Amino acid sequence: MKIIKYSLIMLLGIHFSVLAGRGTSIEMSVDAEMLAKIVIYYKGVDVTSGELNFPLSVDSDTRKFANTSDNFYLVGNVTQAKIIMEDSPFELVSANAGGAIMPLNGYFTMNSVQTNAETERIVPVLRRLNDGNNNNGLKVTFESKDLASNYGAGVYSGKFTLILTPIL
């Protein structure tokens, strides 16, 4: 028993002296995360957290209420994003005609390809606003489903939200 005790003390002493000679060590795990960021530009202005006035007027060709935006550009640190227009169905409510409704169609247009704004679409995200052109800009269109003459007189209004999700 005395020999086992002496051997154990000797082994611990050797182990201790090895650690003491090496010094103390600590392992460091290092990582970094850059969150995705996208800024929405319209007519050269950051409109990411804002609200746009988007009035509809009677189109002389279709005779419907309609408006198509200039290009929107997405600028950020990812290459693509998903977009969809929330608040479907698109309807404007009359402030004057007892709550009458004006149903709308909503569209996204990019590279002359028009898709329903209620359907998710993948769009490019630019590194710099100066890279924006007609091929990578996104247009939004709203138009009434019926001819303008089918709606009662008054002011119709509504709000719709563009949802943007970065693709990592």
For residue 24, what pLDDT band results from cuts at 50, 70 and 90? confident
Gap between the Cα atoms of 166 and 81, Å rounded: 4
pLDDT exceeds cutoff 80 at 20: no
Which of residues 126 and 10 earns the better pLDDT score? Answer: 126
pLDDT exceeds cutoff 60 at 146: yes
Mean pLDDT of 118-134: 95
pLDDT exceeds cutoff 90 at 15: no
60-74, 96-110, 123-137: least confident range: 96-110
Q: Are 1 and 9 in contact (CB under 8 A)?
A: no
Question: How many Cα atoms occupy the beta-carbon half-sphere of 76 within 13 Å?
Answer: 24
Per-residue pLDDT, 11: 44
Please provide residue 22's backbone torsions phi and psi, each rounded to the nearest 5 degrees: -80, -30
What is the pTM for the complete model shown?
Answer: 0.77
